Structure 1
Amino acid sequence: MFSMVTGFINYGQQTVRAARYIGQGFMISLSHTKRLPITIQYPYEKLITPERFRGRINFEFDKCIACEVCVRVCPIDLPVVDWKLENDIRKKRLFNYSIDFGICIFCGNCVEYCPTNCLSMTEEYELSAYDRHELNYNQIALGRLPTSVSDDYTIRTISNLPKIENV
């Protein structure tokens, strides 16, 4: 008889504890109703990227001197630089420059150490493709400047800075 009473007491304590946990979860859910939604409707709304965002690399063919510093500082030896030495003017002539963004880790070393500043980071982050080989950009694709997110009138831009409310 005594074990039956202790069983009922334990059952009652477990019921009260479960009700308390459910109440705590419900209170947390209610506290989240005051918050604004974080989700954005992606194709129609886009975030404005921060100032030092590391997006796709822009390449200026005319400034490049084919010194291959970008290849040496890249942790994965990614940029491919094809050049030929012109004997009559004793300078390197650049033929082809390409970067495979399927492999790139966007570390920014190539941009930072480029002596002529022919490489720069853009705010373009939409680099998805159905085929892996489409991510290998040559100097023509790298030279294309992206359209700014804030310039597109069909897309509502959202600043990713935290909003400060005056209470």
Structure 2
Amino acid sequence: MLPMITGFINYGQQTLRAARYIGQGFMITLSHTNRLPVTIQYPYEKLITSERFRGRIHFEFDKCIACEVCVRVCPIDLPVVDWKLETNIRKKRLLNYSIDFGICIFCGNCVEYCPTNCLSMTEEYEFSTYDRHDLNYNQIALGRLPMSVIDDYTIRTILNSPQKKRG
């Protein structure tokens, strides 16, 4: 008779333990109902990037001195810099600059080590294309400002100002 009583006691203890575990799981589930949703509706809502986000690289052609520091510090030797030596002034003249964002790892070394600060990181992160060759940006595509900057009220005011139209 004693083993039967201990069996019932063990069964009761196991039942109470299972009920406690179920209750704990239910309390965790209820605690998540008060949180705000993390999901965003992507094409219509966009994530706010952090201050140090490393997105698409912006290039300013006029500032570049064709020193090729960006190519030397790049872990994959990605930027393609074409230049011509001007013998009369003994300086390099930049002809072409391009980066293939299909290969770029966005490490930011080129931006950090550029002596003239002609490279900068933007907040742009949407690079979806149907053809990977469209991700090879030349100096014209790299020089374009991202849409978030162009849509900014202060930039629109400057672009539409009468002083800008005269010059």
Q: Which TM-score band applies after superposition, normalised by the shorter structure? A: 0.7 to 0.9
For residues 28-71 of structure 1, the C-alpha deviation after alignment (integer angstroms, 9 at most, x for no partner) is 11111111112111111112222222110001111111100111
Q: Equivalent residue for 1:74?
A: 74
User: Normalising to structure 2: TM-score of the pair?
Assistant: 0.80
Shift of 1:134: 2.0
Shift of 1:17: 2.0
Q: For residues 120 and 149 of structure 1, do their structure 2 counterparts lie closer, same or farther at Cα, with a shift above 3 Å needed?
A: closer
Aligned residue type for 2:100? D
Q: Equivalent residue for 2:159?
A: none
Within-5 A mapping of 1:1-167: 6-148=6-148, 151=151
Per the alignment, in what secondary structure is the counterpart of residue 43 of structure 2? coil
Per the alignment, in what secondary structure is the counterpart of residue 25 of structure 1? helix
Aligned residue type for 2:119? L
Shift of 1:5: 5.2
Shift of 1:113: 1.1
Superposition CA RMSD, Å: 2.2
Shift of 1:137: 1.2
Shift of 1:77: 1.3
Q: Distance in 2 between matches of 1:97 and 1:3?
A: 86
Q: Distance in 2 between matches of 1:149 and 1:120?
A: 13
For residues 7-39 of structure 1, the C-alpha deviation after alignment (integer angstroms, 9 at most, x for no partner) is 544443333222211111100111111111121
Per the alignment, in what secondary structure is the counterpart of residue 47 of structure 2? strand
Aligned residue type for 1:74? C
Higher helix share: 2
Higher relative contact order (CA 8 A, sep 6+): 1
Q: Equivalent residue for 1:157?
A: none
Q: Distance in 1 between matches of 2:25 and 2:106?
A: 41
Aligned residue type for 2:53? F
Q: Distance in 1 between matches of 2:25 and 2:149?
A: 40
For residues 52-95 of structure 1, the C-alpha deviation after alignment (integer angstroms, 9 at most, x for no partner) is 22110001111111100111111221111111212222121212
Higher strand share: 1
Aligned residue type for 1:85? L
Q: Distance in 1 between matches of 2:3 and 2:80?
A: 79
Q: Distance in 2 between matches of 1:4 and 1:54?
A: 69
The alignment of Structure 1 onto Structure 2 pairs a total of residues equal to: 152
Q: Distance in 2 between matches of 1:149 and 1:22?
A: 52
Counting aligned pairs with the same residue, the percent is 89
Q: For residues 150 and 91 of structure 1, do their structure 2 counterparts lie closer, same or farther at Cα, with a shift above 3 Å needed?
A: closer
